[in-house]
């Protein structure tokens, strides 16, 4: 057994409280190296005749990635404390692994050898709002969804959809337009909307805030926004806003004051200014988002700034009853700020959802004291590389996804924000080179994956566009120009996700087949008694697929066609068309 590959660390994604009484324990070993793993565990204070009392439980393999196997077990320690180690076996050898190293025999004379989960304190358990688990999000870029009130059009507004967007063009999307199309969203089946910023700002994307307490007049007024939120709630749709707290806009009054008064400004410590007078070119002499001089970084360590931003965060919840905050550039803001942010918003609405925009591994923000979720771009990249770009084959895709799932605790995965694209990425149909069948497979994978999916406006009707600003075209409302077949596909997937718990975020995903020749994957999602089997043929060739042995004798329901049949013949072969798929519910 390769000792160097064996890894565990408590109070991390390898050992965490799943709920108020259950601990999840994971172990990593070299791929295909270890045959069996047992958890050796006990309460640290239970001894008999000078020997620490332990029990042993077999762990199961929960998945593999490129290099490693992962092992898993759940434990309910009666006194909420646990000391533990691992007993590993291959064909010939046995090895004990503890916090202090490797042994031939399990040490019994001192619990100090062992890994330690000192106490399961309920207040520290990661808890995201329950409703998020049943949410299908829809992302709206307000400037481009629908123009419902032309009187609000900013100067130079182009007529809807008349041109490709540029970094500075306006098409006049507004709240009234969204209100007029809420029934479209209900018909699609989504039940959460994520709005990119809506506060007063000069650009079309509104990430350069002038005033965090005002709605941008091009979208409407506070009354109209309130009406929009209330209507959404009536229709069972939650509302999430974008909090751009890493930086303000250039025309934010405190920054203007610093520009004007320099070192004498009472706001000089609201930003990170390296020297006076301020200069924006060639590169700003103050911290900014990227090198964008129009986006000066806010000093969130300054108590005045903190108070101001926390007042903003609570104001929109208190006055407008919004349900979530998406935090822009979340990983560049200090952790302490986010801890206080969480306390402040949860104090007034305990089930508000906090979603960080982080494109990378995000464990430090997901320990229960900061965010409920992050935008799961590692998932996005995996899906794009396999389905859209063909950069990886089936087995490597399964490795990527398994790795993503093992990077976080399961309770974090259950509310992860899984997107295929956003206003910051090229549209999926464009990345798929216009191949709609690939897009359909991607939607199937996304909507059957653990976590909460988010659909970027227009992807469901086959809109196209490259990198920003190309991906921000006006929503197409002429039904003849919408891909209604794709719409029906997404609608049906959402409805299946709502009907079957195992289909949605509660099911545990296991890859049961990956084949690099045919490039197909098969996986199951299981929740309690319910198992659903998915087969995705990610290839331009037909696939002859044989039902796996363990399904012999089971009653299967094809959830796409509603056909039912008993898998009782010796071999059941099915032919999948190029980019075809199968969804079977397996009856007990
Ligand atoms: C404009 C241009 C872009 C140009 C950018 C930087 O349009 O082509 O790249 O300037 O000079 C908003 C607007 C953008 C605008 C930007 C600056 O929506 O259109 O871009 O302001 O004016 C990183 C950050 C992540 C950030 C992305 C864009 O980590 O936080 O970059 N995303 C948020 C929002 C954006 C928003 C801003 C931040 C600023 O979602 O819409 O931009 O408020 C890798 C890296 C990531 C990187 C990602 C994308 O994977 O690992 O860290 O994200 O690529 O570049």
DSSP classification of residue 473: P
Catalytic residue among 69, 176, 340, 357: 357
Contact 256, 153 (CB under 8 A): no
Contacts within 8 Å (CB) and 24+ apart, 228-232: 228/175, 228/178, 228/179, 229/320, 229/321, 229/322, 230/321, 231/179, 231/182, 232/182, 232/193
Span of 88-102, 137-151, 156-170, 537-551 with lowest mean pLDDT: 537-551
- pLDDT attached to residue 5: 98
Atom of ligand 1 at shortest range from CA of 424: 41
- pLDDT attached to residue 109: 87
Q: Whose CA is nearest to atom 45 of ligand 1?
A: 359
Q: How far is the CA of 37 from the centre of ligand 1 (A)?
A: 44
pLDDT mean over 4-23: 97
Q: Whose CA is nearest to atom 44 of ligand 1?
A: 359
Contact 349, 238 (CB under 8 A): no
Q: For 362-379, write each residue's pLDDT tens digit.
A: 999 999 999 999 999 999
Atom of ligand 1 at shortest range from CA of 357: 30
Where residue 230 falls among pLDDT bands split at 50, 70, 90? very high
Q: How far is the CA of 425 from the centre of ligand 1 (A)?
A: 10
Residue 218: is its pLDDT beyond 90? yes
ipTM score = 0.97
Catalytic residue among 43, 323, 328, 459: 328
Residue 317: is its pLDDT beyond 70? yes
Give SS3 for 444: helix
- pLDDT attached to residue 569: 67
Residue 159: is its pLDDT beyond 70? yes
- Average pLDDT, whole number, for the chain? 96
Q: How far is the CA of 289 from the centre of ligand 1 (A)?
A: 8
Q: What's phi and psi for 431, nearest 5 deg? A: -65, -30
Q: Whose CA is nearest to atom 3 of ligand 1?
A: 468
Q: How far is the CA of 424 from the centre of ligand 1 (A)?
A: 7
> H or E segment at 226?
helix 222-234
pLDDT mean over 83-109: 96
Contacts within 8 Å (CB) and 24+ apart, 128-131: 128/353, 128/372, 128/373, 128/411, 128/412, 128/414, 128/415, 129/351, 129/352, 129/353, 129/372, 129/415, 130/351, 131/238, 131/323, 131/351
Q: For 39-50, write each residue's pLDDT tens digit.
A: 999 999 999 999
Atom of ligand 1 at shortest range from CA of 289: 39
Contact 53, 78 (CB under 8 A): no
Q: Whose CA is nearest to atom 47 of ligand 1?
A: 359
pLDDT mean over 447-465: 97
Residue 333: is its pLDDT beyond 70? yes
In SS3 terms, 545-556 reads as EECCHHHCCCEE
- pLDDT attached to residue 440: 98
- Cβ neighbourhood burial of 121 (10 Å; 0-12, 13-18, 19+): exposed
Q: For 334-346, write each residue's pLDDT tens digit.
A: 999 999 999 999 9
Instruction: Quickly tell me which residue has 């994978």 as its tokens.
Output: 445
Select from 166, 179, 168 the least CA-distant residue to 204: 168
Q: How far is the CA of 468 from the centre of ligand 1 (A)?
A: 9
Residue 36: is its pLDDT beyond 90? yes
Atom of ligand 1 at shortest range from CA of 294: 22
Q: Whose CA is nearest to atom 21 of ligand 1?
A: 207
- pLDDT attached to residue 554: 87
Residue 314: is its pLDDT beyond 70? yes
Which of 165, 467, 468, 472 has the most ligand 1 atoms within 8 A of CB, as the residue to mutate? 468
Give SS3 for 68: strand
Which of 167, 170, 194, 205 has the most ligand 1 atoms within 8 A of CB, as the residue to mutate? 205
pLDDT mean over 286-297: 97
- pLDDT attached to residue 570: 59
| Partners of 68 in the β-ladder | 30
CB within 6 Å of ligand 1 — which residues?
A: 167, 205, 207, 244, 289-290, 292, 328-329, 357, 359, 423-424, 468
Q: How far is the CA of 427 from the centre of ligand 1 (A)?
A: 16
Q: For 407-422, write each residue's pLDDT tens digit.
A: 999 999 999 999 999 9
C-alpha dist (Å) from residue 217 to 176, 182, 256: 12, 21, 21
Q: How far is the CA of 356 from the centre of ligand 1 (A)?
A: 14
Which of 359, 380, 382, 465 has the most ligand 1 atoms within 8 A of CB, as the residue to mutate? 359
| Partners of 575 in the β-ladder | 544
Is residue 357 part of the annotated active site? The answer reads yes
Q: What's phi and psi for 127, nearest 5 deg? A: -135, 115
- pLDDT attached to residue 167: 98
Can you tell me the distance from the alpha carbon of 150 to that of 50, in angstroms, rounded to the nearest whole number? 82
| Apex 75 CA angle, 73 and 81, nearest 5 | 130
Residue 436: is its pLDDT beyond 80? yes
Q: What string of DSSP letters covers 247-316?
A: B--TT-HHHHHHHHHGGG-TTGGGB-B-SSS---SSS-SB-EETTEEEEEBB-TTSHHHHHHHHHHHHHH
Largest CA distance in the chain: 85
Residue 58: is its pLDDT beyond 70? yes
- pLDDT attached to residue 551: 81
């Amino acid at each position: 057994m390769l000792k160097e590959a064996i890894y565990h660390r408590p109070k991390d994604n390898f050992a965490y409280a799943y709920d108020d009484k259950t601990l999840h324990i994971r172990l990593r070993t070299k791929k295909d190296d270890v045959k069996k793993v047992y958890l050796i565990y006990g309460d640290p204070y239970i001894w008999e005749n000078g020997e620490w009392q332990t029990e042993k439980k077999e762990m199961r393999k929960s998945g593999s990635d490129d290099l490693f196997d992962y092992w898993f077990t759940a434990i309910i320690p009666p006194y909420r404390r646990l000391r533990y180690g691992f007993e590993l076996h291959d064909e010939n050898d046995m090895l004990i692994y503890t916090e202090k190293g490797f042994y031939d025999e399990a040490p019994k004379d001192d619990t100090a050898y062992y890994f330690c989960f000192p106490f399961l304190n309920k207040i520290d358990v990661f808890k995201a709002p329950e409703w998020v688990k049943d949410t299908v999000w829809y992302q709206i870029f307000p400037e481009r969804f629908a123009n419902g009130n032309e009187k609000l059009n900013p100067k130079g507004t182009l007529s809807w959809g008349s041109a490709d967007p540029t970094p500075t063009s306006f098409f006049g999307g507004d709240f009234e337009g969204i209100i007029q199309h809420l029934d479209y969203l209900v018909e699609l089946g989504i039940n959460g909307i994520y709005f990119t910023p809506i506060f007063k700002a000069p650009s079309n994307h509104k990430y350069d805030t002038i005033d965090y307490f005002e709605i941008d007049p091009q979208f409407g007024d506070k009354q109209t926004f309130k009406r929009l939120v209330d209507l959404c709630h009536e229709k069972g749709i939650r509302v999430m806003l974008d909090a751009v707290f890493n930086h303000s806009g250039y025309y934010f009054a405190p920054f203007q004051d610093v520009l004007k008064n320099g070192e004498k400004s009472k706001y000089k410590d609201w930003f990170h200014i390296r020297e006076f007078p301020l200069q924006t070119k060639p590169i700003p002499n103050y911290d900014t988002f990227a090198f964008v001089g129009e986006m000066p970084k806010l000093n969130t360590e300054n108590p005045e700034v903190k108070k101001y931003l926390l007042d903003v965060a609570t104001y929109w919840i208190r006055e407008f009853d919004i349900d979530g905050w998406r935090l822009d550039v979340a990983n560049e803001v200090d952790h302490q700020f986010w801890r206080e942010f969480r306390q402040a918003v949860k104090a007034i609405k305990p089930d508000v959802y906090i979603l960080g925009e982080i494109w990378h591994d995000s464990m430090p923000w997901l320990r229960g004291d900061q965010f409920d979720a992050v935008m799961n771009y590692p998932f996005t990249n995996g899906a794009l590389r396999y389905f859209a770009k063909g950069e990886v084959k089936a087995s490597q895709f399964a490795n990527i996804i398994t790795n993503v799932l093992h990077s976080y605790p399961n309770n974090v995965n259950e509310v992860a924000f899984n997107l295929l694209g956003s206003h910051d990425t090229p549209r999926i149909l464009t990345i798929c080179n216009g191949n709609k069948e690939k897009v359909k497979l991607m939607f199937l994978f996304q909507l059957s994956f653990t976590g909460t999916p988010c659909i970027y406006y227009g992807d469901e009707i086959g809109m196209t566009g490259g990198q920003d600003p190309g991906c921000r075209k006006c929503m197409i409302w002429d039904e003849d120009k919408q891909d209604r077949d794709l719409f029906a596909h997404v609608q049906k997937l959402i409805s299946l996700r709502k009907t079957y718990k195992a289909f949605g975020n509660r099911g545990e995903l296991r890859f049961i087949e990956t084949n690099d020749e045919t490039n197909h994957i098969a996986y199951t999602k299981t929740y309690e008694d319910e198992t659903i089997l998915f087969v995705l043929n990610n290839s331009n060739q037909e696939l002859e697929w044989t039902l796996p042995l363990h399904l012999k004798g089971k009653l299967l329901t094809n959830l796409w066609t509603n056909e039912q049949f008993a898998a009782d013949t010796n071999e059941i072969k099915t032919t999948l068309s190029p980019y075809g798929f199968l969804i079977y519910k397996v009856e007990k």
